[in-house]
Amino acid sequence: MLKTLTKENNQNAVFVGFLSISKLIDETHFLIFLYILEEKLEKNILNLKAVSLIITDFIDRHKRKASLAIYDFMKNIDVFKPCRLALLDGIYYAKYFDEILVEIAKKSLDTDNSEILTKALKILSKAERIDEFIKLEEILTFLKHPSWIVKLSALKLLEKNLSPEIADYLIPLLEDKNALVRKYTAKIIFKLPDEVVIRKLPNLLKIKDVYGRDTLVEKLLISGFWDKLKEYSLKIELKEDIEKIMQFLKLNYNMKEDQWTY
């Protein structure tokens, strides 16, 4: 059947053929299956989406055996090849997920290609315990990437591994040119421990970018943090910081202490 598939050039027949063969092949033919798939992609007989769907089906059918085969196969693929993009996309959408697929994603981070980085970061976000597979410092480096989609993907990964020390790394992203990056940054800030946010807010609100400040204040209200300020205003150790916050909000956004339910 694999030989027949090699000779076939009709797009629909090839796509259906791969899905059908995936049900029948055993692990001794997995690599052949993947190399033929790569060939069909390079010849434009299959597109990226079709290959992605085939890989998702392949992983969900054969699970760990498929993970091992893809791991071995990707050792020999040029990092910039479209096939790598399709494979990573297929891994992301698969229901089955294991540490081998996580390792594939980690190895794919060693590139400057924004598409590959984005897909790899998305795969890592599927892991239940991110800190078991990737260090916080590694994620933080992607917050400085020139591509906004890479920064956004890194932020979504950070959201699963929140810790107080990331606050200072988020400040520059409040002034990012991309609105989605600014909004997601503000969202994450208000998921940090309340006292950490209160101590950081006076400096966060000083950023020069008016869009960044507006986004931060908007999330302050939406997240319910505005109401929390009233509760924490009773704590002596936070009083000075809260007074600075309220002074800024009163001056720039006409928000006052007697409007806690703004």
Query: Does 26 map to a domain?
Result: no
Please report, for residues 28, 103, 193, 258, the alpha-carbon distance to residue 67 in angstroms, rounded to integers and kept in the order given: 14, 10, 38, 58
Q: What token pair was written down for 74?
A: 């990707």
The domain of 216 spans 164-262
Instruction: Tell me, yes or no, whether 7 lies in a domain.
Output: no
248 lies in a domain? yes
Q: Are 30 and 67 in contact (CB under 8 A)?
A: no
Q: Which residues of the chain fall below pLDDT 70?
A: 1, 79, 256-262
Report the C-alpha gap between 26 and 23 in whole angstroms: 9
* pLDDT in the model for residue 235: 87
CA dihedral 122, 127, 131, 137 (to 10 degrees): -10
- The reply to whether 37 falls in a domain is no
Give me the pLDDT at residue 63, please.
Answer: 97
What per-residue confidence (pLDDT) applies to 99? 92
Report if residue 258 sits inside a domain. Answer: yes
- Contact status, residue 166 vs residue 137, Cβ threshold 8 Å: no
For residue 245, the tally of other CB atoms under 10 A from its CB is 23
Alpha-carbon distances, residue 129 vs 98, 119, 141, 163 (angstroms): 12, 18, 19, 14
Residue 215 is assigned to a structural domain of this protein: yes
In a domain, 252, yes or no: yes
pLDDT score at 56: 97
User: What confidence score (pLDDT) does residue 226 get?
Assistant: 87
Distance between start and end Cα atoms, the chain: 67
Number of compact structural domains in the chain: 1
62 domain-assigned = no
